[in-house]
Structure 1
Amino acid sequence: MAEPYGESPLAARAEALADAAAPGALRLSEVAFTAQVSLRVDPKSPAAERIGTALGAMLPNQAGQVARTERVLVAWLGPDEWLLVGPEGSAGQLQATLTDALGEEHGAVVDVSAHRTIIEVSGPKAPELLAKGCALDLHRRSFGPDQCAQTLLARAGVLLLCREADPPHYWIFVRASFARYLADWLCDAAAEHHRTRSTGALT
């Protein structure tokens, strides 16, 4: 039997994202096919503690916090909701781990891997690029590493996550249906930095 084949939402924009880069200043790419699992559970319940123990990192309990282990990233989405992100192909194992730890307690574990893709934006000019379409204060003192926020970027609803501050490194989680629109917007917004670098290289 032939193996099923899937194409990432931004496969057709891979070259455009790469071309929008400004060497040493800005890089854009898709992080495709990550495992993404939604978790709903009472943060004060024994199940939440068991889940944290099973993951190797307790569930973040403050708005916008992100916890990380070697293989899993846990982003706070609400008082009783988290998004867990792991390597490609790990959704089933992640679901099983969460479901076993949840036990008979009230909660929900849902594979949402197909709902969103990730656009990675990094480099010294990354905050400046994102600020063109996002109202968040992206200064590292306000939005630093291991912080996330659900916000609008170029009028598209996204989950913006800061992975590193120096140099700036962001993941943008966007619904598959809006991914190409947002990729095109980012490429267009990045053109200014690309031209600036190109001009500087010639002077």
Structure 2
Amino acid sequence: MTADTAIAAPLRSPLAEAAGRLAAATRASGGAVRLAELPFLAQINVRLDPKGAALDAVGLALGLQLPLEPDTVVRAGELTALWLGPDEWLVVGPPGSQQDLESRIRGAAGEEPVSVTDVSAQRTTVLVAGPRARDLLAHGCPLDLHPRAFEPGRCAQTTLARAQVVLVARDEPRAGFWVLVRSSFAGYLTDWLLDAAAEWTA
């Protein structure tokens, strides 16, 4: 088979082999926790001057304003923007939207200095939801995860079970948390989550 006729292998997510275990733990918990991978989300790292003209232009192109308050999240439709630093954001979108998002951001910035990097392949996303989600995450996260301290619409670069993650408290009802973790640590973190959830799944 030549390179021209070869059929590309389908993409395989970092936690494809763990999907069954995550689903089984969710069922065993009786709804206390819900664990699942959200694979292949588009993740675009954006850096620009928050006081420059590009900020509003990029916001208009995306249909959402890049958040300026530290550790906050702005969501509009299928897009979510996370504040990572004074001049840095992560724009998360549906699978396959990377090129479109990059194009829209670069086009809107025009001649303004901007850095746009597709980091989708670096991380996968684990959904941790359910009434016990905060308790589960608190077993391995140094942040105060009480709703008064880490309310829906907040995000943080932190550690979970000593793995570097971006933790997002989703703002939809009962949406729980996104845990964005590097693909190389995803299997380890999943094993830890399943072990930590044992008190509700045993």
Same fold (TM over 0.5): yes
Given that residues 60 and 67 in structure 1 are in contact (C-alpha distance below 8 angstroms), is that contact kept between their aligned partners in structure 2? yes
Deviation at 1:107, TM superposition (A): 1.4
Deviation at 1:117, TM superposition (A): 0.2
For structure 1, list consecutive stretches of 5 or more residues without a partner in the other structure: 196-203
Q: TM-score, normalised by structure 1?
A: 0.93
Deviation at 1:167, TM superposition (A): 3.4
For residues 175 and 119 of structure 2, the distance between their equivalents in structure 1, rounded to whole angstroms, comes to 27
For structure 2, list consecutive stretches of 5 or more residues without a partner in the other structure: none
Matches within 5 A, 1:15-54: 15-21=20-26, 22-54=29-61
Matches within 5 A, 1:181-196: 181-195=188-202
Moved more, 98-107 or 77-86: 98-107
From 121, 128, 131, the counterpart of 2:138: 131
Moved more, 102-111 or 120-129: 102-111
For residues 41 and 7 of structure 1, the distance between their equivalents in structure 2, rounded to whole angstroms, comes to 33
Deviation string, structure 1 residues 40-77 (Cα, Å, up to 9, x no partner): 00011001110011111111001111011102100000
- Matched length: 195
Moved more, 20-29 or 85-94: 20-29
From 16, 38, 41, the counterpart of 1:11: 16
Aligned amino acid, residue 86 of structure 1: G
For residues 63 and 149 of structure 1, the distance between their equivalents in structure 2, rounded to whole angstroms, comes to 9
Q: Please provide the CA RMSD for this pair.
A: 1.2
Q: TM-score, normalised by structure 2?
A: 0.93
Given that residues 26 and 121 in structure 1 are in contact (C-alpha distance below 8 angstroms), is that contact kept between their aligned partners in structure 2? yes
CA shift in 2, pair 1:60/1:190, >3 Å: same
Given that residues 124 and 168 in structure 1 are in contact (C-alpha distance below 8 angstroms), is that contact kept between their aligned partners in structure 2? no
From 132, 153, 157, the counterpart of 1:146: 153
Percent of aligned pairs with the same amino acid: 50
Given that residues 134 and 145 in structure 2 are in contact (C-alpha distance below 8 angstroms), is that contact kept between their aligned partners in structure 1? yes
Matches within 5 A, 1:66-81: 66-81=73-88
Match status 1:173 vs 2:165: no
